[in-house]
Amino acid sequence: MPGETFTPSSAATRLTHWLDALTATGLQRFPVNVEQLALEVGQQLKWTDPIAIVQAADIKRFEGGLFHLGDQGWALLYNEKLKSPGRVRFTQAHELGHYLLHRLTQEEFECSQADMIHWGPEQKSIEAEADDFASSLLMPMKQFRTATTADVVDLEVLSAASTKFGVSLTAVALRWIRSTSESAVLVLSREGFMDWAVSSDKARSNGAFFRTKGRVVPLPPNTLAVDDSVSACRTGQRVPLRSWFEHAHLDASAWEMKLLCENYGYTLSLLHLSPGDKTWEPRSWSR
């Protein structure tokens, strides 16, 4: 059964080159048709256990799954209740990632919604690897940079990119925050509490981050994020940086953007900070 051993990025790069070449023959490049790709990639790589089936299924608690069918190869399933094409596409790509990266280590993969968002360089799990692959496949960095080049990257720009790549705004915003050299923080919250928060490298090095893992973290009280009278502010509003980070300089401000996603019951907030603004707690000199 053998074959090459891939990393998330080498697998995505291999498929990206293949898709780029197919585009030269007239194929529409984006959004990526993951279903078709999954059905063809095994043959393309000359693997003896290709993905034979890609279909919606009643798999209840899971967003998606990948199952070995013995001699028939593999079945890639996604939850039939998923309404958004972007979530279906990301889920299919995540499972394709398990196929390319992990099929020799497991015969069954069952993946939850939470498995679809925890990706990034500091994550090492197979779920993070599958997400990393999915993100790179659906939004290759070269085209992603082109789509998100703007004087100010706000939720308008990221929404347009989400349409182009056919993925959710959250997936696009995560891709951007992981790759930008700017100082920015992305927060997903529900009913006033942070589900998770991700900072760009620059923001993190300036102290602008939240520790949400395993903790209950309320949204700060004087932010656009908690203002129920505003459901969407895609281009942003200037706010005192202290409204988010209590140790920020009194005069520092940030751009806060917000989008309430009523269908899913969460709020996405994007904070854009000046690159020089630091928010570290002052050191206490106790000795």
Residues near Zn ion (CB under 5 A) are 111, 115, 127, 130
Nearest residue (CB) to Zn ion, 115 versus 256? 115
Min CB(97)–Zn ion separation in Å: 8
Task: Tell the smallest beta-carbon distance from residue 167 to Zn ion (Å).
Answer: 16
CA distances from 113 to 17, 87, 90, 110, 170 (A): 29, 10, 11, 10, 13
Q: How far is the CB of 149 from Zn ion (least distance, A)?
A: 31
Minimum distance of Zn ion from residue 4's CB (angstroms): 21
For 186, 203, 209, 273, the CA distances from 200, given in Å and listed in that order, are: 8, 5, 9, 10
**Nearer of residues 128 and 187 to Zn ion, judged by Cβ:** 128
Nearer to Zn ion, 127 or 132 (CB): 127
**Cα–Cα distance for residue pair 46/26, rounded to 1 Å:** 25
Q: How far apart are CA 15 and CA 134, in angstroms?
A: 11
* Closest distance to Zn ion from the beta carbon of 21 (Å): 28
Smallest distance, Zn ion to C-beta of residue 91, A: 9
- Residue nearest Zn ion by beta-carbon distance: 111
CB closer to Zn ion out of 111 and 241: 111
- Output 49 or 115, the one with its CB closest to Zn ion: 115
Q: Which is nearer to Zn ion, 63 or 256 (CB)?
A: 63
